[in-house]
Structure 1
Amino acid sequence: MKIFISHSSRDRDMCIKLCDILMEKGHIVFDASVNNFDVGKNIFEVIKTELSDADVFIAIITENFVNSSWAQAELSSVMFSTDSIHILPVVVGDVFVPDFLRGITFIKVNDPEEVTEAVLKGISQLSVDKESSTLLQKRDAVPSRKNDLEEKIGLLKEALIDNQLTLVCGAGISRDSSIPDWNELLVNILNEAFFKENLNIPQSKVLAEDLISLMPQSNLILGKYLRLVLKDDFEKVVQKHLYSYYNQDRDFESSMMVQGQEIINYALETNMMKAIVELARPKRRGKCLESIITFNFDDLIECELSKNNIEYCPIWKEGQIYGMDALPIFHVHGFLPNQREIDSPNLVFSEEAYHSQFIDPYSWSNLIQLNTFSANICLFVGLSLSDPNLRRLLDISWRRNQRCKHYIIMRKAPQKNRTNEIATMLFEQDANSLGLNVIWCSDFSEIPIVLSSITT
């Protein structure tokens, strides 16, 4: 058989022995870290050719493999390929295996010394027929997705008890709380800006929607325009439209209570907020969250903590301090609480404000994030990892210890097809390269359930 071995260069010594024994058995083996390349040859083309010619692709999955962009690229080439090839993953030690590989049976070993024997057993079970692309018999398979989730939840529980867990929140946590998403907020503010400029535009809201759809990557530019037009009223207008639906729902709830009618207001008290409150609530067996980092302007979390008599302290600018018993909530993109004014909200809303934060390595928000990512276990919720500054800070933190110690909860695409499988794989590889393990959910409603399981 022609065998392609993929592994991290840091595991080279472990794989040299494997290569030698496989060649003694009569197999043709290619290992990029062992084989010598002819001078002038394009390494990428050689690897591409060897992959297309291989009968078996062996991936030695270790912690080093998960953190190796080169090994991940080789694995991606095989997963994207339409060629028939046997894929034989060997998981060494306690490694979180990417979810996209769980359709293929793994061989699990606890000790690197067991790798060679495990590979020989695996190859002996492979069909010579290239129509098959998996092991013919399940043997020593890694834990199921359910067990993998339980293991991740267990590690998050330990971090919570040890007061080393930080919750990092994005706009997704407000999805069911009557807070508009970013595009809707921009449309409403832009519509008011047109009115303020005395632009007599028929269907101005439709125009605002069209502008945003035509400039999806330029929302920060629109934010800059809004600051220029609205001037001193900018924060007040943002506050007005940020909470407009929320306050309408709250007023409706109050009127119903006055009339003696019992209602359930999902907008004001969602399962997501309930789960966050429980994470923030001090426990008998240990402490609660060490901190919360949020990219949201709103004070929904603060309101829910107040209702539950949990002490907290919002931080949104340099120089603020908080008591030892208060849970710090760092608003790294600024803070705009409902129905009250604060000094210097520091909203990162325009291109200028974002660039100022991005280029200043000593800004308080960058230092808070970097120190937290380095010192704590972080759980990311409601984020897409598209923010360049967040990615930069995660990358810096990962380079310091090169461990996937953080977690992000993401919703998986509902339809099972090749495109979604590839998208899932690419996202998971990207998250791993930034030091994040992915916890997949099939629906947004599952996310609060995952959060609640950390506290039970």
Structure 2
Amino acid sequence: MEFEKILENIDNQGTRGYYLVEALLLGLLKTHLQAQDKPLKLQISTPDYGFDAFAPEGFDEFDGPTFIQITLSSHPKKILLDIEKMQKNFPFMENTSVLIITTKKPNQDILKNHITFHSKPGSPFHIWGPDKISSLIEKYPEQANKLIENIFTIRLETAFSKQQENWKDERNEIVERIKSEYKSGQFSLLLGAGVSSSAGLPDWNTLLNSLFVALLTSELGKDKTIDSMEISSIVRRLREVDGPSALMSARYIRKGMSTNGSSEQTLFVNTVTKQLYELRDKRKNVESKLIKSIASMCTPSRTGAKVKSVITYNFDDLLERQLCNREIQFRSIFEEIEIPNTDELPIYHVHGFLPEDRSNYSNLDRSTLVFSEEGYHKIYNEPYHWSNLIQLNSLKESTCVMIGLSMSDPNLRRLLEIAARSIEKPKHYAFMQRINIEHFSKYNDKKIINAPISTIKTFLDRHHSLNEEVLKELGVNIIWYEEHDDIPPLLEQISKKIN
């Protein structure tokens, strides 16, 4: 059984292919080490570097502790960069080895010319190619066949075996890794509704339902306003009894506000803008801690700007206001022809831009408002639409941190999947809220799940692990948090001591 033939079915799948191959190779290694009565630990992370596995007692010719790294690349420069990163970020102990397993045959001649460690006796770095992998498959044919036949199941089992109790320690390690990416300047932020919600702006459903109520009460286009408390009470009840698709509701609202003249778009935009800001929860500070921490990350240091760009899926201008307060140069971009100057931070409003004071901006009528099915379909079905190109470029060229996003948007997931085809391991990060056991199992202090806490915990641990694996296939690492107020300190930790 040749390893190259096995790779044919899962090669060229980017991140997803990497994890399938990783599951196969780690299974083989586990079998190989068990035959020698040697332990193998999976997914060993350090504050600055993560390894795929660790053999604390060594194996084969490796006498001491051995760290293991798997790569799909055979390019010498890629391997060299990996090794340089390991040397820089990880303090290797005496008698410690590092085994790099590449699934494609490395060019040994080029390796000898480019990697000086290769000819040094006693070097901690060693390389296994596909020939060595094939020899393991031939050595353990029965176990290898089981691994190949059940590769997806084995990958899930590997994910489920992860100890979720240590997620906070792992988060600290992830944050430390992000800091080095932030320092590089090849760093972008992707912002979702959670950022605006931190300042009290209404969520998507509240905004839609309030517009729907206003439409039905025939108050659109009139000078008099509807009492906000009346709107709130009707909205709450409407959400309880009616649950149509949000995009379908938006289409209906847009059609209901249509006129036969050219003012249709203006009427629609003005109404949405008015509702967006009038429904803001005044109990929350419009300059929220989260928005302040994001603006702080965008503040250039003595060595230059660290955030290359901001992509926001929100309509509002709350971040722009905070940047103005800090006298940070930026440009809000909501159409294809806008190009930022070299000293300006570009803020791309890829779903449209509705600033509260429209007089501060020009050409707002050119903004594509992705509010209803029509707008969403336009973006989704045009692969070369400027907003898709901006997102895809950032996902390919930068390390992206996603804040306030549910990660459920089909278009974003499609773009992530495209970008993930060109990378082995996930290089982006998304803040995601963990499900609390108490909140999950109780409602108004009453138990609503007929199962012991231990069973619920096991289920939620597996749920969190599965979410991690799904997003890894899209090139995204999860940064878990419990409360929304946890995010600003984590962002400050990433950007501190830079200026």
Gaps of 5+ in 2: 1-18, 53-65, 72-95, 102-125, 129-162, 221-229, 259-263, 438-455
Per the TM alignment, residue 420 of structure 1 is displaced from its structure 2 partner at its CA by 2.2
Q: Provide the TM-score with structure 1 as the length reference.
A: 0.66
Paired residue secondary structure (2:484)? coil
The count of residues paired between Structure 1 and Structure 2 equals: 339
1:9 aligns with 2:21: yes
Per the TM alignment, residue 438 of structure 1 is displaced from its structure 2 partner at its CA by 0.9
Per the TM alignment, residue 142 of structure 1 is displaced from its structure 2 partner at its CA by 12
Equivalence for 2:407:
385
Per the TM alignment, residue 363 of structure 1 is displaced from its structure 2 partner at its CA by 0.3
Output the CA distance in 2 between the equivalents of 1:328 and 1:446: 27
Paired residue secondary structure (1:196)? coil
Q: What letter is aligned with 2:177?
A: L
Output the CA distance in 2 between the equivalents of 1:338 and 1:13: 55
1:284 aligns with 2:302: yes
Higher RCO structure (Cα 8 Å, ≥6 apart) = 2
Equivalence for 2:248:
221
Aligned counterpart in structure 2 of residue 235 of structure 1, from 255, 269, 272: 269
Aligned counterpart in structure 2 of residue 111 of structure 1, from 73, 81, 99: 99
1:318 aligns with 2:336: yes
* Superposed counterparts of 1:53-202, under 5 Å: 92-93=68-69, 110-111=98-99, 145-196=167-218
Q: What letter is aligned with 1:273?
A: I
Distance 1:266 1:426, change over 3 A: same
Output the CA distance in 2 between the equivalents of 1:217 and 1:431: 28
Distance 1:395 1:299, change over 3 A: same
Output the CA distance in 2 between the equivalents of 1:109 and 1:226: 64
Output the CA distance in 1 between the equivalents of 2:188 and 2:335: 19
Aligned counterpart in structure 1 of residue 427 of structure 2, from 381, 405, 409: 405
Per the TM alignment, residue 146 of structure 1 is displaced from its structure 2 partner at its CA by 4.7
Per the TM alignment, residue 427 of structure 1 is displaced from its structure 2 partner at its CA by 1.4
Per the TM alignment, residue 419 of structure 1 is displaced from its structure 2 partner at its CA by 3.2
1:434 aligns with 2:474: yes
Q: Provide the TM-score with structure 2 as the length reference.
A: 0.60
- After superposition, the C-alpha distances for 1:364-402 in whole angstroms (9 at most, x for unaligned) are 011110111000000001011110000000001001223
Distance 1:282 1:210, change over 3 A: same
Equivalence for 1:262:
none
Say whether the 8 Å CA contact 1:297–1:333 is kept in structure 2: yes
Say whether the 8 Å CA contact 1:163–1:288 is kept in structure 2: yes
Per the TM alignment, residue 178 of structure 1 is displaced from its structure 2 partner at its CA by 2.0
Equivalence for 1:244:
278
Distance 1:145 1:91, change over 3 A: farther
Per the TM alignment, residue 155 of structure 1 is displaced from its structure 2 partner at its CA by 2.5
Per the TM alignment, residue 290 of structure 1 is displaced from its structure 2 partner at its CA by 0.4
* Superposed counterparts of 1:205-220, under 5 Å: 212=239, 216=243, 218-220=245-247
Say whether the 8 Å CA contact 2:207–2:276 is kept in structure 1: yes
Output the CA distance in 1 between the equivalents of 2:461 and 2:98: 29
Moved more, 170-179 or 363-372: 170-179
Output the CA distance in 2 between the equivalents of 1:186 and 1:236: 14
Output the CA distance in 1 between the equivalents of 2:472 and 2:484: 22
Q: What letter is aligned with 1:238?
A: V
Moved more, 412-421 or 429-438: 412-421
Q: What letter is aligned with 1:236?
A: N
Output the CA distance in 1 between the equivalents of 2:180 and 2:304: 9
1:330 aligns with 2:353: no
Output the CA distance in 2 between the equivalents of 1:308 and 1:396: 36
Distance 1:280 1:191, change over 3 A: same
Output the CA distance in 1 between the equivalents of 2:276 and 2:240: 20
Per the TM alignment, residue 404 of structure 1 is displaced from its structure 2 partner at its CA by 0.6
| RMSD of aligned Cα (Å) | 3.7
Q: What letter is aligned with 2:255?
A: L
Gaps of 5+ in 1: 1-6, 26-55, 69-89, 96-107, 116-140, 250-264
Name the % identity: 32
Per the TM alignment, residue 426 of structure 1 is displaced from its structure 2 partner at its CA by 2.0
Distance 1:187 1:60, change over 3 A: same
Paired residue secondary structure (1:268)? coil
Q: What letter is aligned with 2:251?
A: K
Per the TM alignment, residue 174 of structure 1 is displaced from its structure 2 partner at its CA by 1.7
Output the CA distance in 2 between the equivalents of 1:282 and 1:301: 16
Aligned counterpart in structure 2 of residue 362 of structure 1, from 384, 387, 403: 384
Q: What letter is aligned with 1:111?
A: L
